[in-house]
Structure 1
């Protein structure tokens, strides 16, 4: 990726690129259209080839997005990511969220309190697959949480590039804040017992199996079985998908 000037100011060309991205994204009709337009613009305008768009009802659950949008080499890595690396994603760390909440974009080079598992995620997974640079842009589409991942093949994003991403994070959040949500099928709850519906409602509130068990006086193992049954009956592949589809009803 190109390393821009480091004088603390965006150039006219930098602002032009930001405006070009926003012009490409502004016609979006809903969040699905928005994310597709955003990654297209990140590629055609900014030259970022390896990008991702993960979303979820909470920041913690967005890393479990059952249908993320992926470009470039990230498409081939999604299975490995889901099979074990997602829980070590460096952008799931509290430090990342704190920085993203303030700045809208962060590079892994800015993180200082990284556990060993997350360091392995970077060095033993991403870097060994030719992606030594990892960066994220945080936005809030339609009441959800979303991260746009930008992964580089030839070095880190420079200071000016990161400033562009931070400006875009603010502007993209404004664009997508009031867009209609995802186009999702409504889950069929008619086959669920009242107890299963009760559990599904608590899952939708973001509670863990252990917490649901305490609320309903059930063992954690029983709750886990209930959740598996709920997913099977509704056709959802994960808790995150169930939450997204249930929330879309309201």
Structure 2
């Protein structure tokens, strides 16, 4: 009986991992469900200690996602990340983004470097918390938005060449699924339906974590006008603050 060579076994392993993930996300109906299903599947299938899913209008803005989906050990690191580190995330550097646009997957070993702040992100944030392996998967999602999906582990060899090849194989089908999903679950769509088109546009940018000044610059509005829009949106939706609005827009139900 013929036996499989090393390359054939590696190919089987690559496809096996990818198909196991696709089985877990194939039946989802909206982007929030997809985020939850995918992070859980990646953590289980690739045996990493944590998986994350950040979304934004661009890959850089994805790092500012106010309500990412996180499973595993990096969940407790989120407040520090949002307060101090998201602007210096190593995977938002031009080098990392070029790599991810070309190949859809980038690892810490491939992009280490950048500015002094990027280096500190690795040494004083990731490694201080015991994270030695970090891999980012770049996906297109609905409405032209971008997602950065992270896999993190304490073992520096957890994601090796076979796993990277598998993730690159997986990226295309995952992006195809994500692009076709509604951004919000039915309850969130109902919330947006209460708003005028301009109010909904402002609300979505609040959901990105942008300031009034940044929203004004994007929409050619004075920051004071943006503030009025936000006040109107909160009154219409019955929400109390920007954080509640962001969560309502970015999570199901």
Q: Which residue of 2 aligns with 1:24?
A: 24
Three-state SS of the structure 1 residue aligned to 2:191 is coil
Three-state SS of the structure 2 residue aligned to 1:136 is strand
CA distance in 2, matches of 1:210, 1:10: 47
CA distance in 2, matches of 1:44, 1:198: 36
CA distance in 2, matches of 1:72, 1:198: 33
Question: Do the aligned partners of 2:53 and 2:69 also contact (CA within 8 Å) in 1?
Answer: yes
The CA deviation at 1:58 is 2.9
Query: What TM-score, normalized by structure 2, do the two folds share?
Result: 0.76
The CA deviation at 1:33 is 1.5
CA distance in 1, matches of 2:85, 2:233: 23
The CA deviation at 1:114 is 1.0
User: Structure 1's 35 and 211: CA in aligned 2 closer, same or farther, altered over 3 A?
Assistant: closer
Question: Do the aligned partners of 1:24 and 1:41 also contact (CA within 8 Å) in 2?
Answer: yes
Question: Do the aligned partners of 1:202 and 1:212 also contact (CA within 8 Å) in 2?
Answer: no
The CA deviation at 1:56 is 2.0
- Which structure 1 segments of 5+ residues have no match? 1-5
CA distance in 1, matches of 2:72, 2:201: 39
Equivalent residue for 1:178, pick from 177, 180, 193: 180
Question: Do the aligned partners of 1:200 and 1:230 also contact (CA within 8 Å) in 2?
Answer: no
CA distance in 2, matches of 1:201, 1:132: 37
The CA deviation at 1:182 is 1.9
Q: Which residue of 2 aligns with 1:59?
A: 59
Question: Do the aligned partners of 1:141 and 1:177 also contact (CA within 8 Å) in 2?
Answer: yes
Question: Do the aligned partners of 1:199 and 1:212 also contact (CA within 8 Å) in 2?
Answer: no
User: Structure 1's 189 and 116: CA in aligned 2 closer, same or farther, altered over 3 A?
Assistant: farther
Q: Which residue of 1 aligns with 2:147?
A: 146
User: Structure 1's 215 and 70: CA in aligned 2 closer, same or farther, altered over 3 A?
Assistant: closer
CA distance in 2, matches of 1:22, 1:120: 35
Q: Which residue of 1 aligns with 2:242?
A: 237
Question: Do the aligned partners of 1:51 and 1:71 also contact (CA within 8 Å) in 2?
Answer: yes
User: Structure 1's 7 and 116: CA in aligned 2 closer, same or farther, altered over 3 A?
Assistant: farther
In the alignment of these two chains, the number of paired residues is 233
Q: Which residue of 1 aligns with 2:3?
A: none
Question: Do the aligned partners of 1:231 and 1:237 also contact (CA within 8 Å) in 2?
Answer: no
Query: What TM-score, normalized by structure 1, do the two folds share?
Result: 0.76
User: Structure 1's 106 and 208: CA in aligned 2 closer, same or farther, altered over 3 A?
Assistant: farther
User: Structure 1's 30 and 228: CA in aligned 2 closer, same or farther, altered over 3 A?
Assistant: closer
Question: Do the aligned partners of 2:113 and 2:119 also contact (CA within 8 Å) in 1?
Answer: no
CA distance in 2, matches of 1:225, 1:33: 31
Map 1:164-175 onto structure 2 (within 5 A): 164-175=166-177
Moved more, 181-190 or 79-88: 181-190
CA distance in 1, matches of 2:152, 2:204: 35
Q: Which residue of 1 aligns with 2:125?
A: 125
- Which structure 2 segments of 5+ residues have no match? 1-5
Question: Do the aligned partners of 1:142 and 1:180 also contact (CA within 8 Å) in 2?
Answer: yes
CA distance in 1, matches of 2:8, 2:175: 23
CA distance in 1, matches of 2:70, 2:121: 18
